[in-house]
Amino acid sequence: MSADDRLPHAQMTATDGPDIRLPCSSQRVTLRRLRLDDLPTFAAYRADPEVARWQGWTPMATDEARAFLVEMADVPLFVRGEWTQIAIADAASDALAGDIGLFLAGDAHTAELGITLARGAQGRGLATEAVALALQLVFAATRVERVLGVTDARNAPCIRLLERAGMQRHARREALFRGEPCVEFVYIAERPLR
């Protein structure tokens, strides 16, 4: 089953250029650029210790968060070797619910995604819709053959999320997370056959 099959209501419109399709929406979620008016919500969930528990980022001071949002509002998507964060917003209200990081490998054949969702937005399936939309976006806008999702093996909610979004566990690897040894699971979504 492809991401397109899981989200029959997805509407993608090109507003970032010929190959970039933001905003893109499903029934309940819109992926769009982060904006400066997202600052209060962004800073709040990024400062929440429960939200940050399994994340590679650290909380930002307000000025740093403001500069980050301004940068992400205009940075090109899918630049080889770079991460870009995009907003996960409520499709009805456009209120920020979280963000997704997208990374395009140097060979442009592999991408990676990472997701952060505000605690109040968790547990309603929004993250599953957002990941499925992000997969659609990556495969529609690039030549990427597979997208990786990497999570700590102790992060059961993220494991369930990646599996609900149709990603398959590919590998188990030893890693260091915040200076401590851990096990990570690598999930993969392959480009849908057309």
Tokens of 83: 């991460």
What is the per-residue pLDDT across 125-174, written as a single tens digit (0 to 9) for each? 999 999 999 999 999 999 999 999 999 999 999 999 999 999 999 999 99
Task: List the CATH code of the domain at 3-190.
Answer: 3.40.630.30
By the 10 Å C-beta count (0-12 exposed, 13-18 middle, 19+ buried), 146 is classed as: middle
Query: Which residues share a beta bridge with 135?
Result: none
* Model confidence at 177: pLDDT above 90: no
In this prediction, residues 78-103 reach a mean pLDDT of 96
Residue-level pLDDT at 89: 98
For residue 173, what is the enclosing H or E element?
Answer: strand 168-177
Per-residue pLDDT tens digits for 1-60: 333 333 333 333 333 343 367 899 999 999 999 999 999 999 999 999 889 888 888 888
Is the distance from CB of 153 to CB of 142 less than 8 angstroms? no
User: Of the candidates 90, 92, 152, which has an alpha carbon nearest to the alpha carbon of residue 124?
Assistant: 90
Contacts of 96 (CB under 8 A, 6+ apart): 34, 38, 41, 42, 87, 88, 89, 118
Biggest CA pair distance of the chain? 45
CA distance 30 to 162: 18
Q: What is the mean pLDDT of residues 49-77?
A: 90
pLDDT at 54: 81
User: Could you tell me the residue ranges of all domains in the chain?
Assistant: 3-190
